[in-house]
Amino acid sequence: MPTPILPTDEPPLLHHAVEEAVRLLRSGEVVALPTETVYGLAANALDAAAVAKIFEAKERPTFDPLIVHLPHKNQLDTVADVPADIAQVVKQLTERFWPGPLTILLPKKPIVPDLVTAGLPTVAVRVSSNPVFRRIVATLDKPLAAPSANRFGSISPTSANAVLAELDGRIPLIVDGGASLHGLESTIIRIESGSPKPVITIVRPGPLTPDDLKPYGKVQLGSRTVLDEASDAPGQLAKHYAPRTPLRLLTRPADFQPEEGKTYALLSLSGEERDGYVGLHDWEEVMMLSPGSGKLPEAAVRFFHCLRRLDELGVDEIIAEPMFEHGMGIAMMDKLRRASINKPKPVQGHYQQRRG
Site string for ligand TXA, 61-100 (x = CB under 6 A): ---xxxx---------------------------------
Please report, as residue ranges, which positions from 185 to 224 form the binding site for Mg ion (by CB under 5 A): none
Contact with ligand TXA (CB under 6 A) among 50, 233, 328, 330:
233
**117 interacts with ligand TXA by CB under 6 A:** yes
According to DSSP, the residues that pair with 268 across neighbouring strands are 288
Smallest CA-to-CA distance from 220 within 201, 203, 204, 193 is with 201
For 187, residues 6+ apart whose C-beta sits below 8 A from its C-beta are: 101, 102, 103, 202, 204, 205, 206, 207, 208, 209, 213, 331
**188 interacts with ligand TXA by CB under 6 A:** yes
Segment lying near Mg ion (by CB under 5 A), choices 68-76, 141-149, 198-206, 278-286: 141-149
SS (H, E, C) 237-256: CCCCCCCCCCEEECCCHHHC
Residue count at the site for ligand TXA (CB under 6 A)?
26
**103 interacts with ligand TXA by CB under 6 A:** yes
CB 164 within 8 A of CB 119: no
Q: Provide φ and ψ at 217, rounded to 5°.
A: 170, -175
The number of angstroms, rounded, from the C-alpha of 76 to the middle of its chain's C-alpha atoms is: 21
Contact with ligand TXA (CB under 6 A) among 34, 71, 143, 147:
147
Site string for Mg ion, 92-131 (x = CB under 5 A): ----------------------------------------
Contact with ligand TXA (CB under 6 A) among 166, 232, 317, 325:
232
**148 interacts with Mg ion by CB under 5 A:** yes
**Radius of gyration for the alpha carbons in the chain, expressed in angstroms and rounded:** 20
CB 344 within 8 A of CB 337: yes
Which residues in this chain contact Mg ion in the complex, by CB under 5 A?
148
Which residues in this chain contact ligand TXA in the complex, by CB under 6 A?
35, 37-38, 40, 64-67, 103, 105, 117, 120, 122-124, 146-148, 185-186, 188, 232-236
